[in-house]
Chain A
Amino acid sequence: MPEMMLGNGIRYTEIHDPKFRSCLLNILFYVHRSQQTAPIHALLPDLLTASSAAFPSSASMTLALESLYAAEFCGKLSLCGDDAALDLTASWLNDDLALGGESVTDAMLSLVTGALLHPNAENGAFCDPEFRIAKQNLLDDIDCACNDKRIYTLRRAAALAYADEPAAIPPTGLRRDAENAAPEEAFRLWQEILRTSQIEIVCVLPQPKPQIAEKLRECFSAVPRTPETFCFHVPSPKKQRCAYQEELLPVGQTKLAVTYKYDSIPREVLLMLCGILGWNSDALLFTELREKYGLCYYCCLECSSGKQAITIDTGTNAANIGALRIGIDTQIEAIRNGRFSEKMMQKAILRYACRAAAASDSPYDLAAEEINRLQHEDPRSADELTAAMQAVTPAQIADAAKQLRLDSVFVLRAEREEAAFDAE
C-alpha cells in the first residue's frame, strides 16, 4: 500500500486490487468548525462538485460525468469529533472497459483537479445561479431537519451532550448563519482551506496509475500551503449533573437518546464493550429490551471515540420510556458486574474481524477503512487490532463499563400520545 506526501500536509495512499472494475479517489480537506463557518462548510462540497469553471452549470457537469460512463463526483461534510472534513469522492469505470478505448482516468483527473483549483467562481465569488441554488438546498435541508425523526433525535442529543463544543453544531449550521452565507465569503473560505487544511487522499485502483499522484501533486503545488494541525480526539467534558431535555412534536412514536461519557478506554476494549452492549446479535440491549421485553423495535448504540462518548437511541411509545431508561442502565450495570459470557466476547472479536475482512470487497469500504484508521491515529492493522481484542480480559471490559457516566438524556415526545394520555 504505497503512502506518500504530495506536499506540505497532503498525504496520499494508493490501494491496488485487480478485482475491481472501477477507480475511486477520495479527497478529504480537514477544517476546524465554528458556528459562523458551519453553513459554508456544508455548502462547499456541493459548490465544488456540482459545477466548475470548465463545466459552469450542473447540467454541463452532469453531462460530462454521464459521458464518462456514469462517473461520479460528489461531496459531503463528514464530522470528525470537533472538526470536519470536506469529503469529496470521484469514481469511474476502469479504462479497460471503456467502449472507445478512451482514458476515463485522465478525463476524470482533469475534471476533479479543475474543480478544486478552478471552481465555478468569478471576481472572488462563487457564481450564481449555482450558489443561489446550493444555498436554497441548504436552507431547505435545515428546515427539513425534523423529517427523519431518528436522525433529528440524535442531532438534538448531540447538541445537548456537547453543549458549547464545536461537535454540538449541526452539520448544516444554523438557519440564521446559513441565510447570511455569501458567495464571496464561501470563495474566500475555500481558498483558505486549500492553503491551511490537512489533506488526506486515498485512491483505490485495479492497477497502479502513477499519473494520479503526479496530477494531484501538480495541482496542489500551485497553492502555497501552511497547514494547520488537527486533532480528532478532543474528549467532551463530563457534566456535573445529567442534562435532560424534551421536545414535543406531532408524531406517533416517542424517541429517546441517552449519552454516556467516559475517561479513557483503549480502542480494543471499547470495541469489545460496544459489541457486548449493543452491536452483536446477542447484545444485551437487543436481547433484553427488544427480544425479552418487547419494549422497542430498535435500540442502537453509536460510539464517538473522539469525544469519548456513546449514545444509545430507541423509539417506543411514551409509556415504555421509563422502562427503557431503567433497562439501558441495567444492561450497563450487568457489564460492570461482569455478567456477560466468554461467548459474547468471542462474538465481538469475530464481528470486528469479519467486518474488517469484508471491507476488502468494496473500493468505498476499503477507502473508508483506511481513513478511519488514519483518523484514529492507530497504526495497527485490522489483524493486529483483532489480536489486541483477543487479549482483552472480562475485568477490563467491566472496568470500561464502570467508566460510563450518564451525561444527558434527550426525549422527543409524541404529541399524539400525549394527547391520548390527556384524554384518558
Chain B
Amino acid sequence: MQNEIHYLTDPCTGDVCCRIRHSSGLEIRVAEMPEFSTAYAQFSTRFGSIHRCFRENGKTVFLPAGTAHYMEHKLFEKEDGDIAVRFDELGAACNAFTDFDRTVYHFHTQRGFDKALGILLRFVMTPYFTERTVSRERSIILQEIMEMLDDPASQVFNQLLRGMYHTLPLYPDVLGTPESIMEITPELLRQCHRIFYHPQNMVLCCAGNVSAKQVLAVADRFVKPVPLPDAETVFLTEPDMPVQNRVSQRMAVGKQQFMIGFKSRPLSGTARLRESLLCSLTLDLLTGSAAPLCQKMLHDGLINDTFDTECFAGDGWFAVLAEGESDDPQAVLDAICTEAERVLREGIDETLFSVLKKAAYGDSILGMNDPESVCTALTDAFMWDCESPYLRTQLLASLTTEDVCRCLRERFRRDRTCLSVIAPAPL
C-alpha cells in the first residue's frame, strides 16, 4: 500500500494541513507552521477508559477500570529506564494523558524533532511489561487515585456520570479504582497493546515548525504494517433516561458544589461537531454572562462566579453540563429548565444570537493560532471522525435560531436530568 496524501484548507484563514494515509494504515495529519519555533506531536490511540470490553477471535474480554491509564504509565518504562529522560536529552518535553475515548502521547521541541518523533513512535509501539515493573506502578497510581478522590471537582463529575449512565463505562474514573487496578497484569496489557495500539486504530498529528516530508520520513522508518487483529470493541445499549435524578456525598469543601447533566441522544462525525457547537451557543444564550438568567441567578445569590457550562460529547454519549457552587442546586436546575421553556415560548433574542455567533467565530480563529492548539484540533478531528479540522467556522455560520429551538427541545429535557451534589463534611 502506498502513502496517500490529501491537502485541506481553511477557507476563512487560508491555513493548510495535510492528511496522509500511511502505508502501515496509520493516519498522519500535519500542519506546517514554519513561523513558529516549536513543533508539537501527538500520537494517539482510540483506547480510553470507556473501552472496557472487547471480543477477540470470538472470545469476550472484560477489562478492569483504569486499564488504558495504566498502559499509559507503563509504556514510558523500558528496559533501560524512563523514556522521558531520552526526550529531556534532546530538550524536548514529553507527556501523556488518558481520556474517556483516547490515550495521547505527546511532545514538543524546538530542536531534534526527527529524533524525538522517532523515540515517540518507537516507545509507544513497543510494549515492555514485566511483573516487577507493572506491580511497582500500582503504588504510584494508587496515590494518583487517592488525590483524585480528595478532589471535589473530580468527584462531582464522576458522581454525575454514575448517576447518568447505565451501561456506558464513563464511570468509575479514567484512573480506575484502588481495587480494579489490582487486577491489571502484564499479560492483559500486552493483549490490549496488540489490539488497541495497532496503526489502523491510531493517529499521528504534528503542527508547528515541522514539515510533512519530515514526519513521513520518520514514520516510514518506524511504523511498519502489522496484521490487523480480529477484534472489536463491545458496548452495550445505553438507555435514554439517567440512572438517578440526584446523587450526593459529603467531602471537605467550603461550600456546596454541584453539577447538572442533561442527557441526550449521541451523534457521530461532523453531525456531532455541529451539534456541540450548537449546544455551546445555546448554553451561552440561555445561561451565559450576557443572558438574563445568569444575571438573575447572580443577583439572587443562587450562583457565584464559579458557574460554568459545557457540552460533553463523545462516542456514545452527549450531554449538556452546568456546574458551580450553590446553597440550592435544585433551584439552579429548575431555573435553567424554566428559562429553556420561556425562551421556547417567547422566542430567541436575535441580537444576542448574532453577537454570540460573532464571538464563536472569533474563538474559532484564535483557537488555531499556536502549534499546540492546532495539533490538538488535528487529533480531535480524527477522534471525532471529521475529515477536516477546519470545519468549525463553516458549521458556525450554518447555525440558525431554529436550530437553537430544536436544541432546547431535545437537549434540555427536564426528565433527562441528573443533579450531582458535594455537600460540606463537618470539619
Task: Write the chain B residue with the least CB distance to A254.
Answer: B146
Q: Which of B85, B254, B352 has the most CB of A within 10 A?
A: B254
Q: Which residue of A lies closest to B87 (CB)?
A: A281
Does B150 touch A at the CB level, under 8 Å?
A: yes
| Residue contact B425 to A250, C-beta cutoff 8 Å | yes
A149-B151, A252-B150 known; A59 vs B290 contact (CB < 8 Å):
yes
Please, which residues of chain B bring their CB within 8 A of the CB of A298? 147
A413 to chain B, nearest CB (A): 12
A233 at the interface (CB under 8 A from B): no
Contact with A along B6-20 (1 / 0, CB 8 A): 000000010000000
Closest 8 CB pairs of A and B: A69-B362, A143-B254, A144-B254, A70-B362, A70-B359, A297-B143, A66-B359, A62-B289
Nearest CB of chain B from residue A386's CB, rounded to whole Å? 11
The answer to whether A62 touches B143 (Cβ under 8 A) is: no
| A276-317 contact mask (Cβ, 8 Å, vs B): 1 or 0 | 000011100001001100111110000000000000000111
Interface segment among B293-301, B328-336, B406-414: the answer is B293-301
CA distance A2 to B377 in the complex (A): 35
Among B292, B325, B371, the one with the most A-chain Cβ atoms within 10 Å of its Cβ is B325
B91 touches A59 (CB 8 A): no
Q: Which residues of A contact B85 (CB under 8 A)?
A: 281-282
Of the 9-residue stretches B35-43, B61-69, B180-188, B270-278, which lies at the interface with chain A?
Answer: B35-43
Given contacts A22-B369, A358-B108, 17 further A-B contacts (CB under 8 A): A59-B294, A62-B290, A63-B355, A66-B290, A67-B358, A93-B362, A143-B254, A144-B254, A144-B255, A146-B253, A249-B427, A252-B149, A253-B146, A315-B143, A350-B89, A354-B92, A362-B370
Are A297 and B325 within 8 A (Cβ)? no
Q: Which residues of B contact A150 (CB under 8 A)?
A: 147
Q: Which one of A67, A93, A297 lies within 8 Å of B355 (CB-CB)? A: A67
Number of A-B contacts (CB under 8 A): 179
Question: Which B43-86 residues have C-beta < 8 A from chain A?
Answer: 82, 84-85
Judging by beta carbons under 8 Å apart, are A21 and B254 in contact?
no
How far, in Å, is A159 (CB) from chain B's closest CB?
17
| Cα distance, A298 to B36, chains bound together (Å) | 32
The interface on chain B, measured as residues whose beta carbon lies within 8 A of the other chain's beta carbons, has a size of 72
Does the CB pair A347–B88 fall under 8 Å?
yes
In the bound complex, residues from chain B placing their C-beta under 8 Å from that of A253 are 143, 146-147, 149-150
Taking a contact as CB atoms under 8 Å apart, the answer to whether A99 and B255 are in contact is no
Whether B269 sits at the interface, judged by CB under 8 Å, is no
Residues of chain A lying within 8 A (CB to CB) of residue B339: none
Chain B positions 248 through 261: 1 when the CB is less than 8 Å from some CB of chain A, otherwise 0:
00011111010000
CA–CA, A253 and B147, complex, Å: 6
Which of B87, B254, B304 is in CB contact (< 8 Å) with A146?
A: B254
Assuming A351-B88, A353-B91, A358-B108, is B361 touching A99 (CB within 8 A)?
A: yes
User: CB-CB < 8 A to A22: which residues of B?
Assistant: 366, 369
Q: Is A374 among interface residues, defined by CB-CB distance under 8 A? A: no
| Contact between B82 and A145, CB atoms less than 8 A apart | no
Known: A66-B359, A290-B140. A347 touches B89 (CB 8 A): yes
Between-chain CB contacts (< 8 Å), 7 pairs? A20-B369, A21-B369, A59-B289, A67-B355, A253-B143, A317-B146, A354-B91
Assess whether B389 is interfacial by the CB under 8 Å rule.
no
Chain B: which residue is nearest A92 at the CB level? B362
Question: Known contacts A250-B252, A281-B87, A351-B88; is A296 also within 8 Å of B152 by CB?
Answer: no
Flag B359-377 by CB within 8 Å of A: 1 or 0 each.
1111101100111000000
Task: Check A361 against B38 for contact (C-beta < 8 Å).
Answer: yes
Number of interface residues of A (CB under 8 A): 66
Query: How far apart are B377's CB and chain A's nearest CB, in angstroms?
Result: 14
Residue of B nearest to A247 (CB): B427
A350 neighbours in B (Cβ, 8 Å)? 88-91
Q: When chains A and B are docked, how far (Å) is the Cα of A343 from the Cα of B356?
A: 53
Q: Which residues of A contact B398 (CB under 8 A)?
A: none
Most chain A CB atoms below 10 A, which of B257, B355, B360: B355
CA distance A79 to B184 in the complex (A): 44
- B82, B140, B146, B288 — most chain A CB neighbours (10 Å): B146
Min CB–CB distance B257 → chain A (angstroms): 8
Binds B, one of A133-141, A220-228, A397-405: A133-141
Complex: how many Å from CA A382 to CA B84? 24
B110 within 8 A of A: yes
Closest Cβ of chain A to B291, distance in Å, is 8
CA distance A357 to B358 in the complex (A): 34
B212 to chain A, nearest CB (A): 19
Interface residues of B in 402-427 (CB under 8 A from A): 425-427
B144 within 8 A of A: yes
Contact A297 B144 (CB under 8 A): yes
Within the complex, the shortest CB–CB distance from A312 to chain B, in Å, comes to 16
User: Is A57 in the interface zone, CB < 8 Å from B?
Assistant: yes
B119 to A: closest C-beta gap in Å: 13
Most buried by B among A69, A316, A317: A69
Taking CB atoms, residues of chain B closer than 8 Å to A362 are: 370
Inter-chain contact B252/A70, CB cutoff 8 Å: no
User: Which residues of A lie under 8 Å from residue B325 when comparing CB positions?
Assistant: 140, 144
Measured between alpha carbons, how far is A140 from B254 in the docked complex, in Å?
8
Task: Considering the complex, give the chain A residue whose CB is closest to the CB of B352.
Answer: A63
Neighbouring B residues of A176 by C-beta, 8 Å: none
Residue of B nearest to A296 (CB): B143
A129 to chain B, nearest CB (A): 5
Q: Does A19 count as interface, using CB distance less than 8 angstroms?
A: yes
